[in-house]
Amino acid sequence: MTAPDVSRSRALFKKAESLIPGGVNSPVRACLSVGGSPRFIESGKGPRMTDADGNSLLDFVCSWGPLVFGHAPEGLADTLAATCAKGASFGAPTERESELAELIVRCVPSMESLRLVNSGTEACMSAIRLARGFTGRDVIVKFSGCYHGHADSLLVAAGSGLATFGVPSSQGVPEALARLTLTCPYNDPESLGKIFALRGEEIACVIVEPVAGNMGVVPPEPGFLQAIAALCAKHGALFVCDEVITGFRLGLGGAQEIYGLKPDLTVLGKIAGGGLPLAAFGGRREVMARLSPLGGVYQAGTLSGNPLAVAAGLHALRRLTDEAPRGLYESLAAKGSRWASGLSGLAAAKGMEATVNSAGSMATLFFAKGPVKDFGTASESDVKLYARFWNLMLERGVYLAPSQFEASFVSTAHTDADIDFALEMAGEAFAAL
């Protein structure tokens, strides 16, 4: 097939490289792990984006998850224009902040009280600080392969043995701070139990993605999340559920509704802001009352509760609450299943060593024998083969995450015909590998 013209994207990238580190404002966008060159996007509508050279791309990244209704959904531009006409930022309270908080609390009952912030990183960082302040403890536990933003305490790799303190996984993270973070394999409650047995009195909280989305999609095995909750309760630690990706994507109440959880603290983002920069953290009222100005845990932000982001969040959540009773999430899950099962079937038919994990409207194709149940098994994937597959799909007008260890997403805007087209292109790509 004839390769698409991407000359303008390449020229724009070259210019960006002279001004911005790596030419991008978030590392994965540089496409280094897939050996490609980033497309610069001009516009998006529904399930498609148009790049700077005029190429149409069927989008399965959806801005890394938040675009549950696709690009430029009906009514959003008018909502933002009307909001901006009244003022884009005040640094003072507005009524709509409480309206959004009320809607979130209604959907996610474990969040009895919450605070709006600007990003998932900020929300996770604040939730952990709050957990430390509430418990009077310093140590936190995270799971290998789960990503909770780029705060220093969370950029930590596993130590050399069970229950050893972590080591920095990024330059610039002090070793002394990294040593306050313990890591544990995902889907391994026995290892977590041993960590608590050794250091339970030191642990302020355990933070987890209830469905992992940052090592690729890895669902929890039966009993795993419940074991975390039970161990936290037994040892006086807080259970922190990072639903930045899964919140409002797997259901109105997020993954915690599906798995019957009631975490002490929850972190939301992405869809909660309708695709604009907004996130939230919240939970038990007695815990949230430790936040300044009520308590001694400080957290602040000039743009927190920004009118434009709040308006976009209200637009998205009101539509979700309106359409959820009419089968919105069942429809999304059916589309996700069509995409995931189609990829799995094509890979098997071509004799590829591949595994497809999915949860609702999220999925990941791993070039690994499987099963993929944690970061260790995800890391066995053939990343070079994924890179070739990614480039072949991009040449055919299908935009996937430029990393083996990310999720693909479908939106309400994706039709069965769109998914069938993408699967047809995947069949060609598998054949060309």
Token pair of 25, please?
Answer: 């404002």
Nearest alpha carbon to residue 401 among 122, 81, 63: 63
pLDDT for position 133: 98
pLDDT for position 166: 60
Would the pTM count as exceeding 0.85?
yes
Angle ∠(192,187,271) on CA atoms, nearest 5:
110
- Domains, the chain, with CATH or none: 7-60+327-432 (3.90.1150.10), 76-324 (3.40.640.10)
pLDDT for position 163: 40
Helices 307-323 and 76-86, interaxial angle, to 10°? 150
Rounded Cα gap, residues 310 and 297, in angstroms: 24
Rounded Cα gap, residues 210 and 221, in angstroms: 10
Q: How many CB atoms lie within 10 A of CB 177?
A: 16
Token pair of 355, please?
Answer: 């595994």
Nearest alpha carbon to residue 321 among 8, 104, 110: 104
pLDDT for position 160: 39
The residues carrying an active-site annotation are: 147, 242, 270
- Amino acid, res. 373: K
- Amino acid, res. 385: L
Nearest alpha carbon to residue 231 among 280, 182, 268: 182
Cβ–Cβ < 8 Å for 203, 141? yes
Rounded Cα gap, residues 234 and 365, in angstroms: 37
pLDDT for position 153: 83
- Which residues, in sequence order, are bridge partners of residue 297? 291
pLDDT for position 158: 54
10-residue stretch averages of pLDDT, the chain, 433 residues long: 93 97 94 93 98 98 98 98 97 97 98 98 97 98 93 72 58 86 95 97 98 97 98 98 98 97 98 97 98 97 97 98 97 98 96 96 96 96 97 98 96 98 98 95
- Residue 261's alpha-carbon distances to 210, 240, 253, 258, 358, in angstroms, are 10, 11, 10, 8, 20
